Amino acid sequence: MDSTTFKYYHVHEFDSKCYLDAFLSPNTNKQLQEEAIWRPMKYMHKELVSGHVKGYNLIDITVGPSICHLFPVCEFFKEITILEFNRFCVAELDKWLSNDKEAFDWSHASKFMMDLEGKSGGWKEKEELLRGKIKSILKCDITKDNPTDPVELPKADCIICMWVLDVISTDKDAYISNLRKISSLLKPGGRLMLVSDINATFYIVGEHKYGVLTYDEEFLKTALKNEGYIIETYEAHDRKVCLDYIDYEKLAFLTALKPE
């Protein structure tokens, strides 16, 4: 494989099943599970139960057909809209939403959610609650001024953005432009919850190597502040996992307020 030839998540074909199996399944490397599934769920849960992140509608923009991080937030919002840049992932998400027998099994995540809440059961009910909160799954296009064109979405009270800016931005100028477009979907007074890989370079799905924008923590914080955000919480964790199909230095979580 030519390491200089990258594909990009929002442009090229993407094997959603292979991605889920490698990064988000019960068979995923245990350390990668912690960093890709359990730690994001813990962070979302901690932020939501604190009470300062709340509202009526939430927009989720996440790499791949993942919904595990939505289990901690579905109790706190009335409506969830999922935006996807890759059509293969839209199809995979639709399967789960419609309870298709071929849909990916997220029970490991919903059961973990019950553990976070200190409950011994109820994971099936949690999955049905989330299904009921998801109002639409939309294919979007970041090259448009309105990424959801022709649909005009109401401004969201909260946007969760996990790794997407990293994988759809080919340079730092594109990152800032894409951040601005995503921010346009958030109402003043709303919160942006961002999960990012610091100093990442690539990830591999099947036989394809996908590009990731490389940037440090200073760039991330400065980009948000320059767009007017107030960073309320920030934490970064050194990578513990060492695998040949993904490369990054740290995993960063932040919640930022878009001022009135």
Q: Please write the tens of the pLDDT for every residue from 80-123.
A: 999 999 989 999 999 999 999 999 999 999 999 999 999 989 99
Convert the pLDDT of each residue in 166-187 to its tens digit: 999 999 999 999 999 999 999 9
Output Rg (C-alpha) for the chain, integer angstroms: 17
Structure tokens at 51: 């009470």
Beta bridge partners of 162: 62, 195
Most confident of 4-8, 11-15, 201-205: 201-205
Those residues whose C-beta lies under 8 Å from the C-beta of residue 166, and which sit 6 or more positions away, are 63, 196, 197, 200, 212, 213
**What's the pLDDT band for 1 if we cut at 50, 70, 90?**
very low
What confidence score (pLDDT) does residue 4 get?
A: 54
List alpha helices for 136-237, DSSP H.
164-168, 172-183, 217-226
- Contact between 233 and 255 (Cβ < 8 Å): yes
Geometric angle at alpha carbon 203, from 71 and 40, rounded to 5°: 20
Beta bridge partners of residue 138, listed in sequence order: 83
**To 5 degrees, how large is the angle CA 101–CA 103–CA 106?**
115
CATH H superfamily, domain 16-257:
Vaccinia Virus protein VP39 (3.40.50.150)
β-pair partners for 251: 197, 237
13 exposed, middle or buried (CB, 10 Å; 0-12, 13-18, 19+)?
exposed
| 207-225 tens-digit pLDDT | 999 999 999 999 999 999 9
Q: What DSSP string describes 69-114?
A: GGTTTTTT-SEEEEEES-HHHHHHHHHHHTT-TTS---HHHHHHHH
The SS3 assignment for 171 reads coil
Q: Tell me, what's the pLDDT at 3?
A: 44
Instruction: Give the mean model confidence (pLDDT) for residues 134-158.
Output: 94
**Contact between 210 and 159 (Cβ < 8 Å):** no
